[in-house]
Amino acid sequence: MRKLGWFTRMAKAASRFTGRPLCFALAAGVVLVWLITGPLFKFSNTWQLVINTGTTIITFLMVFLIQNTQNRDTQALQIKLDELIRATQGAHNALLDLEELEEKDLQSFQDRYEALAEKARECGPLDEGEAGTPEVDMPDEGMHDVDTHDVDSHDVGTHVVGTHDKEVPPQPPSP
């Protein structure tokens, strides 16, 4: 692995520091000192401006640090999930990189999985084996060239493979 850039190193260090109880105690201490000094400065506008300016600057900078940390964590999590999908036999590779799809395409996938979940919930505890591992219809638009473990997205239905029915989805013709 290559060496981390200066911003990444700084952002990681800042997020580790600011996420600790010591940092919270320091912030609470600063506010307490500010409150105690109120009578000394006769609760002047300058006294109020000090805390307002300080907290505004810190909040402004923290927004970017938090966003950077969130982006890195989300990207790492997506890569790990993509690897699990890729390495799992029977998983649909069309689900890789879903976070890059348009909202309507994501909604289409979500609708399919919600329908599968509903169907699985309709099966009673004794019929649980009948729920099986269903195949999912893949979207028709923009997904034709995606490898879904040798199953063509046009031939995959929502057929449920249960304990009594071992039908395999149709395979595309060999070239």
Q: How far is CA 129 from CA 35, 161, 168, 170, in A?
A: 65, 9, 16, 22
Q: Which residues contact 148 (CB under 8 A, 6 or more apart)?
A: 92, 93, 94, 138, 156
CA–CA dist 108, 98 (Å, integer):
11
- Mean residue pLDDT of the chain comes to 78
Q: With bands split at pLDDT 50, 70 and 90, how would you rate the model's confidence at 130?
A: low
The position carrying tokens 């260090």 is 13
Q: Where along the chain do its domains lie?
A: 6-87, 99-161
Which pLDDT value is given to residue 124? 64
CA–CA dist 80, 96 (Å, integer):
10
Backbone angles phi, psi at 167, to 5 degrees: -65, 135
Answer yes or no: are the C-beta atoms of 149 and 89 closer than 8 Å: yes
CA–CA dist 160, 168 (Å, integer):
10
CA–CA dist 161, 171 (Å, integer):
16
Answer yes or no: are the C-beta atoms of 78 and 98 closer than 8 Å: no
Where helices occur in 37-127 by DSSP H, the ranges are: 45-87, 103-122
Q: Which residues contact 134 (CB under 8 A, 6 or more apart)?
A: 116, 119, 158, 159, 160, 161
Of residues 48 and 95, more confidence is placed in 48
How do residues 41-85 score in pLDDT, each as one tens digit?
Answer: 999 999 999 999 999 999 999 999 999 999 999 999 999 999 999
Q: With bands split at pLDDT 50, 70 and 90, how would you rate the model's confidence at 39?
A: very high
For residue 159, pLDDT over 70 is answered with no
Answer yes or no: are the C-beta atoms of 82 and 75 closer than 8 Å: no
